[in-house]
Amino acid sequence: MQQIMLGDICIDVVHKDIKNLHLSVYPPTGRIRISAPLRMNTDTIRVFVISKLGWIKKQQSKLHSQERETPREYITRESHYYLGKRYLLKVIEHNASPKVVLKHDTIDLYIRLNTNMKKRREFFYEWYRQRLKEVIPGLIAQNEKAMKVKVGEFGIKRMRTRWGTCNIKAKRIWLNLELAKKGKECIEYIVVHEMMHLLERRHNERFISYMDKFLPKWRFYKEELNKSPLCHENWSY
C-alpha cells in the first residue's frame, strides 16, 4: 500500500480496478484512505487530496471530539447496552459454566469465582455475538424479499473502521460485533447497506436511489450511528 504525506497528514493509497477516486476518513483515529484507479499517478492523487483538505480536517475534528464509551470493568451496576437500550450489569459468581441472562433492566453475568476482567469481557461479547445471530437472519430475509437479492451467508466479527462489508462475488456480508449495542433500526440500516452492494457495487447515485427506495429513513439511522459513542476497547483478537 502506497502512502502520501502532506505535512503531518498521512494518506493511505490503494489502487483498484475502479474509475473514480474514493476518499474515506475512518474512526476512531481519523485515518485517511484513498482508493484510486489502477493507472492514476501520484501527482494527480496528491492534487485531489489537497483539494479535499478542508473536508478531511472537518471529518477528523468530528471524530476526535466524538464521545467515547467509558472503560468497562464488567462489574456490578456498570452500564451496558443491548439493541439500543441501557441495562445495568449484575455479576453473579457461581460454580458452573458462565452464562448471560437478559432481564427487564439488568444483564446478569454468571461467572466462576475469581474470573478476571478479560474473561468476563470475552463471555459478554460471545453473548452479544449469539444474540446478533438471532436478530440478523430475519432482517436479511425481510429485505431479500423486497430487494429480490439473495445473501449467500453472513458473519459477525470485530471491525476497527467499518460497521459492515460485502463480498459481492461470494454474496457474503460481514457485520461488526459492536452493532449488538445499537438499536435494531441501525442494525437494519447496515444490513440493507451491505445487501445493496449486491445490486450496485459503488456508492453512486444509483446506490443512493436504491437506499431511498428500500429504507427511506436510512439517513436518520446513519446519523444515529455516527453520533453514538465510539467503543473504547482495545482488542487483541
The residue among 188, 167, 192 whose CA lies nearest residue 179 is 188
The residue among 158, 90, 83 whose CA lies nearest residue 120 is 90
Residue 235 has pLDDT above 60, yes or no: no
CA quadruple 26, 3, 165, 128: dihedral positive or negative?
negative
Domain positions in the chain are 2-65, 79-227
Residue 105 has pLDDT above 60, yes or no: yes
How large is the average pLDDT for residues 22-28? 80
The string of pLDDT tens digits covering residues 66-88 is 666 677 899 999 999 999 999 99
- Give the CA distances from residue 101 to residues 122, 161, 237, in Å, rounded to whole numbers and listed in that order: 15, 30, 24
pTM of the model: 0.74
pLDDT grade for 133, boundaries at 50, 70 and 90: very high
What is the pLDDT at residue 237? 25
Q: C-alpha cell of 155?
A: 458473519
- Homologous superfamily (CATH) of 79-227 is Metalloproteases ("zincins"), catalytic domain (3.30.2010.10)
What is the pLDDT at residue 60? 82
How large is the average pLDDT for residues 95-100? 94
How large is the average pLDDT for residues 148-166? 90
pLDDT grade for 20, boundaries at 50, 70 and 90: confident
